[in-house]
Amino acid sequence: MAAEAERTTELDRIIFFSDGVFAIAITLLVIGLRVPALPSHVANSELSRRLLDEWPRVLSYAVSFGVIGLYWIGHHRFFGHIRRFDHRLILLNLAFLGLIAFLPFPTAVLGRYGGHRSAVVLYAGSLALAGVASTALWLYAWQARLADVGLRRARYLAARAAIPVVVFGISIPIAFVSPAAAQLSWLSFLVVRRIVDIRYGDAGRDEGAFA
């Protein structure tokens, strides 16, 4: 009984640490937003123009906030299925969290240089890699029998985790043709997610669905 309680406490520590990383990453996103440096007597039209100049940074912030938020929901529900853990799971989780913590940087680059191919590729590549780490985390937990979940649901959760890999990965070659088109292609995330939900039907309808 004491060993089981200690195991539960250790698992809670992993979860709390992970939540802290997500919280810090989301908080750091706002650093890329700047208040225009203007004199107090500036005309309202000038202030409005300068605020509009910030819209690319606001947009990249909103996209990244949404994506990191979905990763957090998925991570939270993922650990709801975990009953045991080992050293390899901890290392995979750290690799995933490292990629999450890195996301404020490509977000800031995209907000400032959104029309540049390199900025789009960096951003899409970072999110795709985070998706790879998230998928690997889940697949390992399933194969090592650390998670309490059935086969069909396990496949559904793996498919949901892999959606960012597909969507952002495909956008990278598109960016070499048109950075704007690559960014528009990210909207397909919602379509692909819906397709996965339909494909697996009942497997994804309960509260534990992996975001």
Structure token digits, residue 21: 């990383």
| CA distances (Å), origin 104, targets 31, 154, 198, 210 | 9, 30, 32, 23
Distance CA 181, CA 170 (A): 11
Which pLDDT does position 204 carry in this prediction?
54
pLDDT at 20: 94
* Residues of the chain predicted below pLDDT 50: 2, 206-211
Residue 203's H or E segment, with its range, is: none
- Where do the structural domains in the chain lie, given as residue ranges? 2-204
Q: In the prediction, which pLDDT does 208 show?
A: 40
Q: What pLDDT is recorded for position 210?
A: 36
Residue 200: how many other CB atoms lie within 10 Å = 18
Q: Taking the model in full, what pTM does it have?
A: 0.83
The pLDDT score that the predictor gives to residue 147 is 83
